[in-house]
Amino acid sequence: MKDPGNVIFACENCLHWVARFDHGGPPEGECRRHAPRPVSKPGRDTVRAAWPRTDPEAWCGEFAPDPVCLVEVEQEPST
């Protein structure tokens, strides 16, 4: 039986989060709950769109459990 009550509220367990490990540092990912937002870097005249980057352990009020993260829960035998 799948039990959504056992999911830890964290970005890495969210339906909207995509892991990114392309920078060689600690793991992080992108929240894709909303459309990308404009981002500019200091000293540059260009603006690009990007999703917010988050740590895997972070979470927000719009957390939605990823069905892949739902764990199988064994029923304890009744005595």
pLDDT 10s per residue in the chain (79 long)?
Answer: 344 567 788 999 999 999 987 667 778 899 999 999 999 888 888 999 999 999 999 989 899 988 876 655 445 555 5
- Nearest-CA neighbor of 1 among 77, 72, 76, 78? 72
Indicate whether 17 belongs to any domain.
Answer: yes
Indicate whether 77 belongs to any domain.
Answer: no
Question: What's the Cα-to-Cα distance from 68 to each of 2, 48, 57, 73, rounded to whole Å?
Answer: 10, 31, 17, 14
Indicate whether 53 belongs to any domain.
Answer: yes
pLDDT at 3: 46
How many structural domains is the chain composed of?
A: 1
Domain hosting residue 37, numbered range: 4-66
Distance CA 65, CA 34 (A): 16
pTM value is: 0.67
Phi–psi pair at 4, nearest 5 degrees: -65, -15
Indicate whether 62 belongs to any domain.
Answer: yes
pLDDT at 8: 85
**Which residue shows structure tokens 């367990």?**
13
